[in-house]
Amino acid sequence: MSSENEKENTFYIGLCMAGAVSAGAYTAGVMDYLLEALAEWEKRKAEPGVPKHKVQIPVIGGASAGGMTSILTSTVLNSLHIPIDKPGENILTEHPENKFYHTWVDLSQGDILEKMLDTADIKERGLVSGLNSAFIDEIAQRVVATEADRSKWRPLPAFIKPGLKIFSTLTNLEGFSYTADFGPDKPQTRKYHMSIHNDYACFELTEENIIGPNGGWVPLNLKNDLNIDLARDAAIATGAFPIGLKSRILNRDASYVNANLWLKKYLTNNPLAPGNYQTLNVDGGLINNEPFEKVRDVLYEVTGQEAKDYRDFHRFTSTVLMIDPFPSEKPKPISKLQDLMNILGLTLSSMINQMRSKPLEISDALSTSCAGQFLVAPSRIVNGPEGEQHVTGEMAIACGTLNGFGGFLSKEFRVHDYFLGRHNCKIFLRDYFTIPESALEEHVIFKEGYANANRDRFKSTKDGGYQIIPIFAEKTDYTFPQLKFKSGESWPVLEDQDIDRYKSKLKERIQAILLNVAELSGTSKFLIWAGAKIVLNRVLSNAVIRKIKKDLITWKLLRAE
């Protein structure tokens, strides 16, 4: 089959993973089941009654924890993927055989907050972040480690398009400068100088030795260790949560940046100088936390399909599948109080919201068809005094508390969210990631794929549509695993002492921050030290502990006294 015919008979799925902080555990669970479902379908395509259409993933991109997971995914594709469907007898057992689980659930130890409060980083380098970020380096090194995988190297699975594109968003603190000229003679004084700060670390998975700017995609050859260190550094940089976690340096060849699909329009008249290009970066999610429009750009390059077609279930040949543990909600009315702290908070949130707004066509934004984009987000059923309740969004995940940092308090939180991610992905593929029956009869790819299939076997139980990625009911348990945490419940619940035990480490961290937040003379340093020792660190640590407990109670993660 020619490459053009293959393109015409293939449906493409671009994966977008939103920022998530510790809720990367949820995204990991979704990805774990998604790869399992695709592999199972490929294995069973030759069986009678199974749909035969072809699905491929040509691009995976994300921000922050989603960007890290995008890079992580690229490192598991050439090895045996061992999914984890249910927890073992010991719910806290580590699973190094599964990179998604080991990276996001096991982390570098169970309750990671103790490491994050350690003051060794301040003693060594001065104050670089509110929390100790050393654990991220440990995890990132594990993400790109391929030594064990190379001995059992496998070809890319059929559901991955060769030359897979992987990217993570970055917030480049120096940014890229460009100008607008005013006046016919355009002297230097009539230039309006601007800069953009959204940046991207872009890779192309390959086993070839690619030379040159390559359209802005850095060749990532995991078999021969080509650009592995750059991929690791990009994974760390996209997750550098501002102030809380350490900012990161990233070094790239300027030719890739100049040729980048999303940057070259700014750099055409002011390209970067040849050679190494070094940037200082914070969390990619600060500016673009859900880069689904960038995933769409790559899909357009693959399919050439215009917006009017990709929104239409009868003609679309690709779609964006976004995994978002914190799906956006309708904005709430603001307080009109002209209090300084209220204005500061509203100003900051306004700036972030404006930076994250999407430059989409208004027809895309107002379209009621979701053919071109699908969303997997947290959803769980809670049995309470008033019967079953459907909880969605950040309140459905344990790691949703503390603005996503809650998962660092307890490994049990991450365990729960990983298995919820798997469970949600099963339901999503069965019931929601579908093509309507009316469109099935006209769509060239799916009509042919389902021509000799047992349609009832792969039909949604919700809307009557047919599964784009067929899943096999006889092999799939659709019930949420019976998790039993130390509280004796299926929802992880902590006790007061589980939080109070961090008071001492928290006081030490606060004192170290106060002593290093500015250059102080010997006398001033002694006065700050004495004040912190006697009053400040106790007051601040108690305030932080109260904030943590308040959030946990809101999420029903703490047994309130």
Q: Give the pairing of strands 10-17 and 318-323.
A: parallel
Of 219, 399, 419, residue with least CA distance to 325 = 399
Confirm if 103 and 491 have CB atoms less than 8 A apart. Answer: no
Q: Which residue in the block uniquely carries the two structure tokens 């691009």?
A: 59
Dihedral pair phi/psi, residue 346, rounded to 5°? -65, -35
Token pair of 90 as six digits: 């010991």
Of 246, 480, 358, residue with least CA distance to 16 = 358
Helix (H, G, I), strand (E, B), or coil: what is residue 86?
coil
Confirm if 414 and 104 have CB atoms less than 8 A apart. Answer: yes
CA 194 vs. chain centroid, Å, equals 29
Buried b (16+ CB within 10 A) or exposed e, 225-254: ebbbebbbbbbbbbbbbeebbbbbebebbb
Q: Is residue 181 flagged as an active site residue?
A: no
CB neighbour list of residue 424: distance below 8 Å, 6 or more residues apart: 29, 30, 376, 377, 378, 379
Neighbours of 544 (CB within 10 A): 17
Catalytic residue among 22, 64, 133, 460: 64
Q: Which residue in the block uniquely carries the two structure tokens 């093509």?
A: 435
Token pair of 47 as six digits: 């069986």
Q: How far apart are CA 471 and CA 480, in angstroms?
A: 17
Catalytic residue among 106, 118, 199, 283: 283
* Residue type at position 273: A
Q: How far apart are CA 405 and CA 111, in angstroms?
A: 12
Q: Is residue 487 flagged as an active site residue?
A: no
Catalytic residues: 64, 283
